[in-house]
Chain A
Amino acid sequence: MVLVSVEHLTRIFDVSKPWLNRLVERRRKAFLTAVSDVSFEIEEKTVYALVGESGSGKSTVGKMLVGLLSPSEGSVKIRDVDLARETDAGKVDAVRADIQMIFQDPFASLNPRWRVRDIIVEPVAARGGQTEGLAEKLLEQVGLSARDAGKFPHEFSGGQRQRICIARALASEPKLIVCDEPTSALDVSVQAQVLNLMSDLKDDLGLTYLFISHDLTVVQHISDRVGVLYLGRLVEEADPDALFDDPKHPYTQMLLAAAPQLGSFGREVPPPKGEIPDPINPPSGCAYHPRCPLVGDICKVERPQMRMLRGAKVACHMAR
């Protein structure tokens, strides 16, 4: 069953200078298209991973999914409820309780003045729920001790704090958890602990994850479906095996080739050319065409649509 369906999602930010500056300097308004016409679906009890480099719009998609940002165009539907447009407040509330988020930096996402118990039960307490003994139970579920409930965040290490963030996300018994780079700030050995914990919780509680990451090896390890974003556009979507063994979009191929690999000692690959373009003035046609080795005339004028190719979806004119 489809839990989340994202259709033609677009988010445009107004990054203009103040009106007086525009008047004096004779500048036009400037708009940054962070996410452009992105569509995908997340099946229940699976892990959907969004990968991309900085500026690719992956976090913006995540924020629109939880309702922290509203879409400029298109829609996010969670169990057929469009959070931005639904008028029935009861329905919206019910769906919102089913979504939680885990952020990248466990040092910035916990209030330093609150005790761990209060942090964890907040999503339930805010809705007037029963919180007796809840924090203790959740702490043990994420591998900490019930006695930790009375402590403050500064008494914990980075990995332990991320476990507290996970406990908080679990408190309202959500169905969907949006994880925005949950292990990027952690060391490898701690990352392994957190990734294992997340897989266990997913199996035990039947959770669905949207897993946002720039780390391809982590994505390959945890995901059931992967979407690759480039400059706010979804360029390829496939199952991890298909994506990593047979990448079809030239950008995915470049990303995979550039990622450092443990087995490739002293590997000499020609490093990728160029950098991600300015999203305020994106290239015409396919956004990747200035860096693409396969570029043809059509790429410069027409934006490629998603099409099926050998069991994957790819937005490229040239991929064969």
Chain B
Amino acid sequence: MESTKKKRRTNIMERRKEVLESLRTMGGTVYDQLDKGFFPSVEMPSRSTENITYDPNVRQFILGDKRVRRSARNIRHVKPFTQLVWAAMFSNELSSQRKTSTLRDVYYSAQAYEMTFTDQQESNNIITDLETVLGFSREDFNIFPEERSAVFGDLTIEYTVPGYEGKTLNLTSHPDGVLIGPAVTTSEFVKTTADKVIAIEKGGLFTRFIEENVHKKYNAVLVLTAGQAPRATRHFIRRLNEELKLPVYIFTDGDPWGMHIAMVIISGSANAAHLRELNTPDAKWSGVWATDIVDYKLPTDPLDEVDIKRLYELQRDPRYKDALWQREIKTFMKHKRKAEQEAFSRYGLTYIVDKYLPAKLEETKQK
């Protein structure tokens, strides 16, 4: 690890530089167009559904070749265009001053510039436009989501946020885990003894795993996704996988929704088709499978109509074309039952850690 530290840091610094440069380049382009007496415009890939395709090579959704132009010449675009330039300027300020912000902040900050957005959705859309134009995600512009997930395990990080630069923290230092916030997200990875990442859907189980020393017993970094993993967390998991070469195992509830939480970590979402590096293609969904429900005779609830409908949607989804996924979908459909992770408690509180977890890690082990 030590040997790569310097290089990694350069990577993070360079990424920040790239982001700032792309923002300023955009400003310069608009400035020059105006100065020459032209209506300024920007081009970006279209995010309309027909332009979103699944690319099996990169194993995520990507945007096609269709491009759209936002021009200040168009009376209906001039306002969103102005908002876009404002958002770029605001992001530039945040990034330069190393301050973080949220989507909600963006919405309110606009009012200080008399650039009031009609609603939160409008300002969110503008930020997504900016992501699409520049090809960076909003976290790169220091705009973070409200939702926070957590991480726990023997991983030492080094902060890069102002006031903490150079400070390190071992992620076992707090028994509740450490929030995956802007500071953790922008940290360098210093060292780790872990050889895998276990991502867990629910807070209860995350705490149980810490109590039961799963991180030690299985040499794992534990990540709590807290339901659908936020984009910052997805990026964080990817970095663990990419930079530290740690295989990723995902444990969710045994239902279509849990299955999809795993899938978004693995293959990304259509909403983020304009962005890269948010998914971890080699991550594995380790459970709870529909077949586990049968094999382990777990207490179950019946699938309701919405669940069934969701299964049919997933069955047709290109991300689910692999045999394992198709088999699990069919098994769900066949038994029409679902089970939560907590269902293992019928065999005692530690059964899931002692028996189920090692079995599934073995079953889904990566080469």
The judgment on whether A and B are partners is: no
List chain A positions with a Cβ less than 8 A from chain B. none
